[in-house]
Chains A and B, each alone.
Chain A
């Protein structure tokens, strides 16, 4: 370490981004040998592009679109057509043709606006599930008496795929396909119950969550760093008081506390939730940082700096902090995962603001409207779930790679 005149604290603070940058360069050069870390890193970059840059080019699909619907709200209807008509995507393509609908299914309502361009054939709905009425409609379709049929997706699977009669099965499989743009290429992840594109929701649903988690992580890490180093460097009464406070907060069940706090404060902006999560999340890390600083303080190079008469500021920012910056970075990433965990948990319970259509809100609606429990809603249910899951996994993989690469001997010394 050089012994130039004590830098002002401003310059000292610039040391932090500089060390972070240096660490990042060092890290990426070493990352090549760590495959899980590489996966996590690439994943995080992909998430950044997907949630912060792509929304600028992809518009949020908020228009309910009945043509592209998987099924009207509450029902699960699909369009079955002849094999050669598989390219049909909307009712307009069917102009002049005969479309069969099954009575009492919601199908007639769905098709009513198109009554002037289509010939509609009604089939009787029998109370017996997958009864002859529905089967008759499919047989008509297979025999080309009608051109298309609106039918329950579950019934279709049952009548076509699980058909016990081999003759009928062959007939159906040869002639009928489900033509639904909803699950075709134009909608990468299909559409939701209102015919809106799920992929655009996934792209737009991450930004606020990630920002909130970042705010939570930044606040909890900096509070922990600040209080931890103050406690360790000053010692005495302040140290005991801070340690006692930390132990007290650690004894409170954190998630239930957040649940109650979220009820007390009633946020209208998700980002404030990040602040609250950050303010409750520091104690564990503060304890770790305190013991780190305590151990670093006794190292020879700190002793040397102190005997040179360098200021506490200098010792903290130039001697101690650079030596635990990787540890702090790793824990910063972990605190982001905690913040993510907590805020989405609150959203799923319905205790956080739902004015942004985030992944968490998609889950909340999925749960409250029952689409999570709908066999045809796989894409609706799994898209937000997997988006959250992979983000968290990427963070953890990345943090673990950091841990391995920087080999925190420090922690062993604590």
Chain B
């Protein structure tokens, strides 16, 4: 049978079958969402590729100018030297560059930095990103948990003094921009009340320490991340509180809560597994939106606290016009946003069976 089908000219039906399978795969929700995510990342990457190269001033011109004034050599000589050391050809056609870059990208190669040749962008990102992930992740985690607890409290004691003051507080926390919270922490707590030394808390850890898994180093890491984390917590907490409150109020009206009460279940059990679990579901999708926003706004926060994360790296890259680094960071940030959305889309069904049923339709 096998040899028969091999000998027979069956290429065309086989091809059809592949197309068919592809079509069926595309109809599957998971695959479609994945393809969409990849396309989005490609589109954003292309857009930033063009945008970044449109920026006025390129890294070479700056250095050529310097060499020309310092040493009396011809422009061509200076140009050749800089071009050789910079790993960047300003005359190369944009299209060639684009396809080179895209090809490298498929091999997960983000290229080397323009201004400091020999440095792989991906290594730099690997060096800076974990700190941001740590600070942003901790900040969001703490504020999410706190927000759920406080939001449920607000819903249970709605229209009480506690509810009103907490919602007033939440307006304050969301209204004030996160970098203003950062500045307030520095100015009021750090400078005026002198609770900590702002200068000592710069960077991601005490540089006198050798990175390693020891208590001293970990403590230093936590200390240095504490201020950015506090800022992220304060700035995002208000939103979680309000969302959780309205979500909980909706759930409290549901029949199954009344039934649970009628069944005489303990209040604690109703609050945690009946109300809390269901009310916090919609917040998980919002968490992914928050990831993107907080990662992006990290540029200012990390500059203010001089916390050496990915935002700080991006800002440095922008000031020296390091195209490849900028593209790399942008790509990583976009991927973070797209994949966290994707993750939410795919896991939401697991968390909430009601969506799974309607999603499959």
Check if B299 sits within 8 Å of A255, measured CB to CB: yes
Contact with B along A12-35 (1 / 0, CB 8 A): 000000000000000000000001
- Count class of interface residues, chain B: 35 or more
Residue B26, interface by CB 8 Å: no
Check if A252 sits within 8 Å of B171, measured CB to CB: no
Q: Which of B141-149, B175-183, B353-361 contacts A (4 or more CB under 8 A)?
A: B175-183
Check if B296 sits within 8 Å of A256, measured CB to CB: yes
Q: A385-B184, A393-B175 are in contact. Are A349 and B315 (CB under 8 A)?
A: yes
Question: Which residues of A sit under 8 angstroms from B194, Cβ to Cβ?
Answer: 375
Check if A252 sits within 8 Å of B191, measured CB to CB: no
Residue B16, interface by CB 8 Å: no
Q: Which of B7-15, B46-54, B69-77 contacts A (4 or more CB under 8 A)?
A: B46-54
Question: Which residues of B sit under 8 angstroms from A247, Cβ to Cβ?
Answer: 36, 40
| Complex: A385 Cα to B183 Cα, angstroms | 8
Chain A residues 384-400 with CB under 8 Å of chain B are 385, 388-389, 392-397, 400
Check if A253 sits within 8 Å of B334, measured CB to CB: yes
| Complex: A345 Cα to B298 Cα, angstroms | 11
Check if A253 sits within 8 Å of B175, measured CB to CB: no
Check if A372 sits within 8 Å of B183, measured CB to CB: yes
How many interface contacts (CB-CB < 8 Å) are there between A and B?
141
Check if A253 sits within 8 Å of B300, measured CB to CB: no
Residue B189, interface by CB 8 Å: no
Check if B183 sits within 8 Å of A349, measured CB to CB: no
Q: How far is the CB of B339 from chain A (nearest CB, A)?
A: 10
Check if A264 sits within 8 Å of B56, measured CB to CB: yes
Question: Which residues of A sit under 8 angstroms from B252, Cβ to Cβ?
Answer: none
Question: Which residues of B sit under 8 angstroms from A388, Cβ to Cβ?
Answer: 176-177, 180
Check if B177 sits within 8 Å of A345, measured CB to CB: yes
Q: Which of B79-87, B122-130, B264-272, B325-333 contacts A (4 or more CB under 8 A)?
A: B325-333
Residue B63, interface by CB 8 Å: no
Residue B281, interface by CB 8 Å: no
Check if B177 sits within 8 Å of A263, measured CB to CB: no
Check if B296 sits within 8 Å of A254, measured CB to CB: yes
Question: Which residues of A sit under 8 angstroms from B44, Cβ to Cβ?
Answer: 248, 251-252
- Count class of interface residues, chain A: 35 or more
Q: How far is the CB of B170 from chain A (nearest CB, A)?
A: 9
Contact with B along A369-380 (1 / 0, CB 8 A): 000111100100
Check if B295 sits within 8 Å of A253, measured CB to CB: yes
Question: Which residues of B sit under 8 angstroms from A400, Cβ to Cβ?
Answer: 167, 171
Q: Which of A256, A341, A381 has the most CB of B within 10 A?
A: A256
Question: Which residues of B sit under 8 angstroms from A263, Cβ to Cβ?
Answer: 55-56, 318
Question: Which residues of A sit under 8 angstroms from B192, Cβ to Cβ?
Answer: 375, 378
Residue A88, interface by CB 8 Å: no
Q: A251-B40, A341-B177 are in contact. Are A378 and B299 (CB under 8 A)?
A: no
Residue B222, interface by CB 8 Å: no
Contact with A along B17-56 (1 / 0, CB 8 A): 0000000000000000000100011011001100110111
Q: A348-B304, A349-B315, A385-B180 are in contact. Are A259 and B299 (CB under 8 A)?
A: yes
| Complex: A381 Cα to B172 Cα, angstroms | 20
Q: A253-B333, A256-B329, A260-B52 are in contact. Are A349 and B300 (CB under 8 A)?
A: yes
Check if B56 sits within 8 Å of A266, measured CB to CB: yes
Question: Which residues of B sit under 8 angstroms from A255, Cβ to Cβ?
Answer: 293, 296-297, 299-300
Question: Which residues of A sit under 8 angstroms from B338, Cβ to Cβ?
Answer: 251
Contact with A along B281-299 (1 / 0, CB 8 A): 0000000000011011101
Residue B78, interface by CB 8 Å: no
| Complex: A283 Cα to B302 Cα, angstroms | 26
Q: How far is the CB of A226 from chain B (nearest CB, A)?
A: 22
Q: A256-B329, A259-B315 are in contact. Are A389 and B296 (CB under 8 A)?
A: no
Check if B172 sits within 8 Å of A253, measured CB to CB: no
| Complex: A200 Cα to B74 Cα, angstroms | 53
Q: A255-B299, A349-B300, A396-B171 are in contact. Are A389 and B180 (CB under 8 A)?
A: yes
Q: A345-B177, A349-B303, A378-B187 are in contact. Are A256 and B171 (CB under 8 A)?
A: no
| Complex: A286 Cα to B186 Cα, angstroms | 37
B residues touching A (Cβ–Cβ < 8 Å)? Answer: 36, 40-41, 43-44, 47-48, 51-52, 54-56, 164, 167-168, 171-172, 174-177, 179-180, 183-184, 186-188, 191-192, 194, 198-199, 292-293, 295-297, 299-300, 303-304, 311, 314-315, 318, 326, 329-330, 333-334, 336-338, 341
**Contacts A/B (CB < 8 Å), 14 sampled:** A253-B295, A254-B293, A254-B296, A255-B296, A257-B330, A259-B299, A259-B318, A260-B51, A260-B326, A261-B51, A348-B179, A349-B315, A367-B304, A375-B191
